[in-house]
């Protein structure tokens, strides 16, 4: 009986002696691997944790009509009417943070202008710098963000070699962005777009200081636009 117990103990000891190095190796791997993976994750963050900084949005929309006075020597004798028509363009910019975005936007409208019964083709090109703030309300779904937008720049109207001009313009509006995932979404917006067409100095009074009175003719149009968002 004692011989059998001794043999059993010897067999168990032999097995443990054989498995001990392998067990130590397995334990060492299990202890060290999580620390090594964590170290690598801290040194090389995954693409999911990297902030997305670039937004590019092709836009297609519709612009309302625009009417502005026409005449000579600052006296309006008639009016020009610009037809409502579709528009298209693109916006691209950089995110300052997750909520604020600065973009450059180009928009183009191919339309017609009417004056005294005649009609001429006009190309409108608008170049604006856009400043957008997105809201992330707590009671909204994470994939939907309302936003406000303010823009400033210049608008060029071209009706031929001798009938073109460029004027200061700006815009105010808002909309909503829907994100399908981190890299794609859909942007819908509406904007009021005034155009300063006849800036001039109406009076200048100088005493202890100079006071300048400006007179400007401002016309405007509205635009509704939408397009896919690509984020990088």
Each residue's pLDDT expressed in tens, for the chain with a length of 232 residues: 444 444 444 444 444 454 444 444 433 433 333 443 333 333 344 445 577 799 999 999 999 999 877 655 555 556 778 999 999 999 999 999 989 999 999 999 999 988 767 788 999 999 999 999 999 888 889 899 999 999 999 999 998 777 788 999 999 999 999 999 989 999 999 999 999 877 654 444 444 544 545 456 889 999 999 999 999 9
**Tokens linked to 36:** 């090594």
**pLDDT at residue 202, rounded to an integer:** 47
**pLDDT at residue 163, rounded to an integer:** 77
Encode 61-92: b = buried (16+ Cβ within 10 Å), e = exposed: bebeebebeeeeeeeeeeebebbeeebebebe
User: DSSP letters along 91-138, please?
Assistant: EEEEESSSSEEEEEEEEEEEEEEEETTEEEEEEEEEEEEEEEEE---T
What H or E segment, with its residue span, contains residue 230? strand 218-231
d(CA 221, CA 217): 14
| Whole-Å CA distances, 7 to 1, 4, 14, 147 | 10, 5, 10, 81
**190 Cβ contact partners less than 8 Å away, ≥ 6 residues apart:** 173, 174, 175, 222, 223, 224, 225
Contact 194, 217 (CB under 8 A): no
**Fold for domain 54-231?**
Porin (2.40.160)
d(CA 219, CA 224): 17
**pLDDT at residue 169, rounded to an integer:** 96
d(CA 214, CA 29): 78
β partners of residue 89:
59, 107
Indicate whether this model's pTM tops 0.75.
Answer: no
d(CA 164, CA 168): 14
Give the count of alpha carbons within 13 A of 212, CB side only: 6
């Amino acid at each position: 009986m004692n011989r059998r117990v001794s043999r059993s103990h010897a067999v168990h000891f032999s097995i443990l002696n054989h498995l001990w190095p392998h067990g130590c190796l397995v334990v060492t791997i299990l202890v060290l691997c999580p620390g090594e993976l964590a170290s690598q994750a801290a040194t090389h963050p995954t693409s999911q944790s990297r902030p997305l900084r670039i937004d590019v949005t092709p836009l297609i929309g519709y612009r309302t009509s625009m009417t502005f006075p026409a005449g000579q020597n600052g006296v309006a004798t008639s009016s020009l009417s610009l037809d409502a028509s579709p528009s298209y363009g693109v916006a691209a910019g950089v995110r300052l943070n997750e909520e604020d975005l600065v973009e450059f936007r180009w928009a183009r409208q191919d339309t017609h202008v009417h004056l005294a019964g005649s009609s001429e083709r006009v190309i409108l090109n608008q170049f604006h710098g856009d400043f957008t703030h997105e809201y992330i309300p707590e009671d909204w779904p994470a994939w939907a963000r309302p936003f406000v937008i303010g823009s400033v720049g210049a608008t060029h109207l071209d009706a031929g070699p001798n009938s073109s001009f460029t004027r200061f313009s700006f815009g105010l509006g808002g909309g909503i962005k829907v994100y399908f995932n981190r890299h794609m979404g859909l942007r819908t917006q509406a904007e009021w777009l005034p155009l300063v067409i006849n800036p001039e100095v109406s009076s200048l009074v100088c005493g202890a200081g100079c006071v300048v009175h400006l007179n400007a003719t401002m016309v405007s149009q509205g635009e509704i636009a939408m397009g896919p968002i690509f984020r990088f």
